Amino acid sequence: MMRSVVEYLDITAKKYPTKVCYRDEKTALTFEDVYNQSRLAGSFLLGEGLCREAVAVYMSKTPSELAAFIAVLQAGCFYVPIDDEMPSKRIELIFDNLKPRAVICDEETRENASKFAGSAKVYSWDEIKNSAINEEALTQVQKTRIDTDLAYIMYTSGSTGIPKGVAVCHRSLIDYIESFCDVMKFDEETIFGSQTPFYFDASLKDIYPTLKCGCETVIVPHSLFMFPIKLTEFLNEYKINTLCWVVSALTMISAFGVLDENPPKYLKIVGFGGEVFPIKQYKRWKKALPDVRYINLYGPTETTGVSMYYEVDRDFEKDEAIPLGKAFENVDIFLLDEDNKLSTEGEICMRGTAVTMGYYNDFGRTSEAFVQNPLNDKYPEIIYRTGDLARINERGEMVFVSRKDFQIKHMGHRVELGEIEADVNSIEGVSASCAVYLKKKDRIELYYEGGPEEGDLTNMLKERLPRYMVPTKVNKMDKLPLTPNGKLDRKGLTALSEK
């Protein structure tokens, strides 16, 4: 019985010792490198008296940061990714909630890590990865560890502005890895192109399947996502055949016509998630790369990332949405209406091993989202309420509708902002859109990029939408702002409208 994700590395390091595990433009670490460095650094952390506690890893996005994550796990602790890309205030709030005793940094982050660490000790990765090995201590960790010990904490945005630290144990992570690898059919020939920062759960799609299957993860430079042609050139240079990216990163490539000029020719699998993939953009990918497997991936951080999948197996009309699909093994997903009854339309709820341990050092907000299953009044059973709304279509497939937060009451009618966006995204030339609601002014505003001019778009929407759903104002932008993990910056656009 596997009790730790570290056991994946124990196997692959013996099977593929000299094969590249994690790499970027400057550095390539083999499985043996990751194994040795993580055990040496893990021995050091154990020697510092750290045990089953949080260790902040404040490093640049490099292969070394991934090795540092594994080192923390070798020591029986759990890691928390921190990055200079995060706003300073967010880092402060995370450290305030976390209160770690140890922080691992690199030369680029040492100064800032020391500034935020407070009373915590700051250790240089280059120094601790060359420590002395302590086989006895490492073996003892493996013997005494249980699978509900924490593996990592991933901080997500909170509605109050205070980040929530989602605490994930080894059992949930192992279940996720096994199901995800089975669904996606990864093997030792898989080469990932890593897109998202490591402090977002989407990065798990690359990090851990690599350890299980003997894959290779190539870290794509963040700067390339501003230059689509250079980006696809990079994918081809490293023969990247698998992408598990947020939708906005994929649409950036298709919206600029790069798929016709210089397509990523080695691709075999494209997994996408984070937001609804506009059918128009999906069709461009499918036309340019018809033999690629396209898989919609859905799941919040609170259920260990991906919990549902749908392999696109048919054509879709412009006004349709690609379904969320079906649950992973060992996950039960259902819809609850406003009366907590099973329904064909309602809030997505989940139960099973995928449901994480809750929010770190925050029992109040944990109790609001991780609740007793209202369908079970016989014994304790925790489910997670996602806040996402979905419906079952005529084919019996679950389809995302909107966020619960995006469901508004306007002019006496219930309106899903996501439905407005889906309609706008289907208009020729529009590459992305975002609808926001200004509650104090009781008005809907729309931001979009590409497509017709503002007045023309407004007239088109008057013909396509009910009067109460037509935005009061539309704003054309050269480029919609994105959050650090590549999703639409809805909060930023709302603040822009409120000025």
Instruction: For 138-163, give the DSSP string.
Output: HHHHHHH--TTSEEEEEEE--TTSS-
Q: Residue 68: helix, strand or coil by DSSP? A: helix
Instruction: Return d(Cα 328, Cα 303) in angstroms, integer.
Output: 11
Q: Which residue has the tokens 């690199």?
A: 106
Instruction: Return d(Cα 77, Cα 33) in angstroms, integer.
Output: 21
pTM: 0.86
The answer to whether the Cα torsion of 481, 482, 487, 491 is positive or negative is negative
pLDDT of residue 412: 64
Instruction: Return d(Cα 273, Cα 277) in angstroms, integer.
Output: 8
pLDDT of residue 285: 96
pLDDT of residue 485: 67
> In 3D, which of 183, 197, 380 has the Cα closest to residue 274?
197
Q: What is the pLDDT of residues 466-495, one digit of tens each?
A: 788 899 999 999 999 988 767 788 888 988
> In 3D, which of 9, 125, 141 has the Cα closest to residue 57?
125
Q: What is the pLDDT of residues 9-52, one digit of tens each?
A: 999 999 999 999 999 999 999 999 999 999 999 999 999 999 99
pLDDT of residue 158: 62
pLDDT of residue 413: 67
Instruction: Return d(Cα 449, Cα 429) in angstroms, integer.
Output: 9
Residue ranges of the chain whose pLDDT lies below 50: none
Q: Which residue has the tokens 């086989």?
A: 135
Residues 6+ apart with CB under 8 A from 173: 5, 151, 152, 204, 208, 304
